[in-house]
Structure 1
Amino acid sequence: MVLNWIDQAPRRVLALISAACVAMLAFGMYLQHVVGLDPCPMCIVQRYALIGVAVFAALGSLRNSRGWWMGWAVAGVAAAGFGAFVAARQSWLQWYPPEIVTCGRDFYGMIENYPISRAVPMIFRGSGDCTKIDWTFLGGSIANWTFLAFVAFGLVMLVMLVRGLRPSSRLRAAAA
C-alpha cells in the first residue's frame, strides 16, 4: 500500500518529506530559543543538511515531470546521507566521548578564523559541546533521532528513485 502511494504520488511524498524537515527545524529553533539549548558545531551542520533535504524535496515536488522530481530526489538522498553521516558521528562521540574534552570554538568561529581545509576537520572532530547530551526522548539524544530521520528520508527517496526507474505500467502493458 505504501509503495503504491509512492508510485502514484511522488510529488506528495516529496512535499511531505519537506514539511517534516521544516517541522524538525522549527523544533530545533524551539529548543534553542525557548528551552535555551545551544547547538554545537555538528548540530549546526545537521541543520544545514536538513535544510538541504527540505529544499531539494520541495523543489522536486513542484513539477510532475519524472526527470525533474528524480533529479531533485537524488540531491535529497545525497543531503540525507551527509546529514546521517554527521548525526552518526555525533552519536558515536556521545557514546564514546574523547578522554580530553575541550569546548573548542563555535561553528562560526571555526569558519571565520580558519581556512575551510582546516575548519571542516575541526567540525567533525567534535568538541566538548558535541559530546554533551542536553535533551533526550525515549532514551535517544537529538543526534540519535536526527540520524533516524535522515535515514528514513533517504530511504524513502531512494525507494522512489528505484521505483521511478522502472518502466511505467502503461509501457509494460503495451509490451505484453
Structure 2
Amino acid sequence: MTVRHWSLAGLAFCALMMAVALALQYVAGLEPCPLCIFQRIAVIATALVLLIAAIHNPRGWGGGVYGLLGLATVGSGIALASRHVWLQSLPADQVPSCGPGLGYMMDVLPLWDVLLRVLSSSGECAAVEGIWLGVTLPQWTLVGFLVLALVPIALIARGFVNARRSGRRD
C-alpha cells in the first residue's frame, strides 16, 4: 500500500471517530468534558497530518516523516484518553476538584495554562456518562486511538523499508 492509501484509511478512521463524538454530543445529548474536547483536537490534528500525507504521497522515507508526526498526534490522544480512563477509575474521594469551565479558562488564561489545569484538576471528567457494551466512552476512545496508531506505525515501517531498499546496492 502507498502512503496515500494508508493515510486515506487513517483519515477515514478519524472521520469515524469525530462522527461518533458529534453524534454523542448532538444526538444523544452528552456534553463533552475538557478532556473529551482535547481528545477531539488530537483526532483532528492526526487527520490533518494524514490529509497532508495523502495529498503529498511521498516516496521513500517521506512517509516515515508523516508517520512520526502522526504518531506524535495519536500519542497525545492516547495520553489524554489514558488520563481520562484513570480519572474515571478513581474512588470518589480521590477525584481532583473541578476547575472553572473550559470556556472561561480559554478566555482568561494562556493556552498552556489551560492545558495544565485540565490535565491536573479535571474532576468533571471523572463522571461516567456513557457506557456501551460495559466499556466507558473514554475507554472506547483509547481503543480508537490505539487502532489509529497502526496507521502512523505502518507509515514509519514503510519508510524504513523504502530507505533500506534505496540504500542497498545490488
Query: Is the shorter-chain TM-score for this pair beyond 0.5, marking a shared fold?
Result: yes
Structure 2 residues not aligned, in runs of 5+: none
Task: Provide closer, same or farther for how the CA distance between residues 106 and 50 of structure 1 changes in structure 2, counting only shifts above 3 A.
Answer: same
Q: Name the structure, 1 or 2, with higher relative contact order (CA <8 Å, separation 6+).
A: 2
Percent identical residues: 29
Task: Provide closer, same or farther for how the CA distance between residues 174 and 80 of structure 1 changes in structure 2, counting only shifts above 3 A.
Answer: same
Q: Secondary structure at the match of 2:32?
A: coil
In structure 1, the residue matched to 2:67 is 73
Of 128, 138, 142, which residue of structure 1 is paired with 2:137?
Answer: 142
Q: Secondary structure at the match of 2:56?
A: coil
Task: Provide closer, same or farther for how the CA distance between residues 94 and 170 of structure 1 changes in structure 2, counting only shifts above 3 A.
Answer: closer
Measured on the aligned residues, the alpha-carbon RMSD in Å equals: 2.3
Aligned length: 168
In structure 1, the residue matched to 2:100 is 105
Letter of the aligned partner of 2:110 in structure 1?
Answer: P
Q: Report the alpha carbon displacement of residue 114 of structure 1 after superposing the two structures with TM.
A: 2.2
Within 5 Å, give how 1:33-72 maps onto structure 2.
Answer: 33-66=26-59, 67-72=61-66
In structure 2, the residue matched to 1:91 is 85
Structure 1 residues not aligned, in runs of 5+: 1-7
Q: Report the alpha carbon displacement of residue 125 of structure 1 after superposing the two structures with TM.
A: 2.0
Distance in 1 between the 2:163 and 2:96 partners?
Answer: 55
